[in-house]
Amino acid sequence: MARKHVGRDFFWIVACALTGYGCIVEGEFLEDIVPSGADLGTSALASRCGDGVRQGREACDDGNTAAGDGCDTVCVVEPCWKCAEPVPGARSACGPQCDAAAGQSCLMGVCVSCKDGLRNGDETDVDCGGSCGACDQGHACGAGGDCATGFCSGGVCCNEACGAACVRCDLPGAAGICAYVPENEAHEDRACGGGTSACDGKGACKSIARQACAMGIECLSGRCLGGACQ
Ligand SMILES: [Ca+2]
Ligand SMILES: [Ca+2]
Ligand SMILES: [Ca+2]
């Protein structure tokens, strides 16, 4: 702490590094220049990280310059911690930022939970997937383990593996149910389309007109004439 002694024209000069690492205190005899009363406000006094008093630019001061306890080596609050002083002038008390009893965990300084109504943390959909409980059919997933069914197809929890060329689990009105891609539509994710093929509406990918063929079954039209789909 900065000190001053004005009893007999003696004044402590306090110089501090702006970084808060420490202070240099030296005594000098100064005549007739001692400010009176409130001229020496606390804003002008020294702050030193680790002295147990939060002041100046310190976000916290827990009485040490160790990290890993919520208040780091330069008196900045560490991620996933929060610090406060019980009363002004007291040392900072630091604790977890998030409420574990309420199911919260801290991720990159943000409190997340599996029941906060938000998609956060490693959840693949709102409050499910990842380290939360499995998602119901139709919800977003990244892998089978995110789904109650164990099947994730095209990023959606599905009732079955749904891995054939022209089936999808995210068709409008049928999310979560493996269904045929409508006839003549492409399914580029399964290499059906690109101007040479299309789905037949029954789960298979067939060649469109003028594509090479050997048999009619290869063609969307069902007809192969002269080596080309009709
Ligand atoms: Ca301090
Ligand atoms: Ca500390
Ligand atoms: Ca959540």
Residue 126's pLDDT is 98
Euclidean distance between CA atoms 50 and 225, whole angstroms = 87
Which ligand minimizes its atom distance to the CA of 42? 1
Domain contains 172 = no
For the chain, 230 residues long, give each residue's pLDDT as a single digit of tens. Answer: 444 444 333 333 333 333 334 443 343 333 333 333 334 444 445 689 999 999 999 999 999 999 999 999 999 999 999 999 988 878 999 999 999 999 999 988 999 999 999 999 999 999 999 999 999 999 999 999 999 999 999 999 999 999 999 999 999 999 999 999 999 999 999 999 999 999 999 999 999 999 999 999 999 999 999 999 99
Buried b (16+ CB within 10 A) or exposed e, 73-108: eebbbbebbebebeeeeebbebeebbeeeeebbbee
End of a domain among 45, 70, 94?
A: 94
Residues near ion ligand 2 (Cβ under 5 Å): 62, 64, 66, 69, 71
Instruction: Say how many Å lie between the CA of residue 54 and the centre of ligand 1.
Output: 4
Residue 46's pLDDT is 66
Domain contains 146 = no
Euclidean distance between CA atoms 207 and 213, whole angstroms = 8
Q: 138, 146 in Cβ contact below 8 A?
A: no
Instruction: Say how many Å lie between the CA of residue 100 and the centre of ligand 2.
Output: 22
Classified as helix, coil or strand, 190 is: helix
Residue 88's pLDDT is 83
Euclidean distance between CA atoms 162 and 174, whole angstroms = 13
End of a domain among 70, 94, 118?
A: 94
Domain contains 72 = yes
Domain contains 126 = no
Domain contains 218 = yes
Residue range of the domain that includes 192: 181-230
Instruction: Say how many Å lie between the CA of residue 121 and the centre of ligand 3.
Output: 7
Residue 57's pLDDT is 92
Which ligand minimizes its atom distance to the CA of 50? 1
Euclidean distance between CA atoms 174 and 85, whole angstroms = 55
The closest of 40, 63, 46 to 2, measured between CA atoms, is: 46
Residue whose entry in the numeric block shows the structure tokens 């002004």: 88
Domain total of the chain: 2
Instruction: Say how many Å lie between the CA of residue 50 and the centre of ligand 1.
Output: 5
Instruction: Say how many Å lie between the CA of residue 196 and the centre of ligand 2.
Output: 66
Instruction: Say how many Å lie between the CA of residue 158 and the centre of ligand 1.
Output: 57
Domain contains 135 = no
The closest of 60, 78, 59, 58 to 70, measured between CA atoms, is: 78
pTM (two decimals): 0.64
Instruction: Say how many Å lie between the CA of residue 215 and the centre of ligand 1.
Output: 85
Domain contains 57 = yes
Q: 143, 129 in Cβ contact below 8 A?
A: no
Domain contains 123 = no
End of a domain among 94, 112, 130?
A: 94
167: buried, middle or exposed (CB in 10 Å: 19+, 13-18, 0-12)?
buried
Torsion angle (degrees, nearest 10) of CA 208, 209, 214, 217: 50
Residue 47's pLDDT is 80
Instruction: Say how many Å lie between the CA of residue 93 and the centre of ligand 2.
Output: 10
Beta bridge partners of 25: 14
Residues near ion ligand 1 (Cβ under 5 Å): 47, 51, 53, 61
